[in-house]
Amino acid sequence: MGKILVIYHSQQFGNTKALAEALAEGSREAGAEVELINTNERRVTLDQFLAADAVALGTPDYYSYLAGTIKTFFDDIYQWDQSGEPVKGKPAVLFFSHGGGGKVRQPLEDFVGRFFEQVGEAVGSGHPISDEAKKKCFVLGKELAKKAK
């Protein structure tokens, strides 16, 4: 199986991280190599991105929008694309946490649609993260692993 980058932003409560870890576990169980990157701790490099066969993207819902570091990731992809790097077309899955809104789904899907081939339905969970959402992320991780080359 291929390599999957799980790119997410998580801080304070660790809700998005819990979803990222469930997704990574499902991908690993399906045979994929997985690297998790919390964009709150470090930025994704072009080399890391190009080495991945598929990506998983996660964000908390901040005022019905993406976390700033995830938006920065999309800004980076745009710049890489403009400079001629082959960044478009990777399979991607989406997940998000929220405190009751969950409206981040739409802008996240909009950004993903510009660069990636979305696999499955985005998984969202309020606080605290539900076991059901973790199970859905686990299954989504397995699905993504099948799409990775």
Q: Taking residues 115-143, report their average pLDDT.
A: 97
Which residue, among 2, 80, 67, 4, has the nearest Cα to 41 in the 3D structure?
A: 67
Could you state, in order of their start, the residue ranges of all structural domains in the chain?
3-147
pLDDT tens digits, 24-76: 999 999 999 999 999 999 999 999 999 999 999 999 999 999 999 999 999 99
What one-letter code names the amino acid at 130?
S
Q: What was the pLDDT predicted at 122?
A: 98
Omega before residue 128 within 30° of 0, cis: yes
Asked whether residue 1 carries a pLDDT value surpassing 80, the answer given is: no
Reduced to 3 states (helix: H, G, I; strand: E, B; else coil), residue 67 is coil
> In CATH, which superfamily holds the domain spanning 3-147?
Flavodoxin domain (3.40.50.360)
Find the DSSP H helices in the chain: 15-29, 46-51, 68-82, 105-115, 131-147
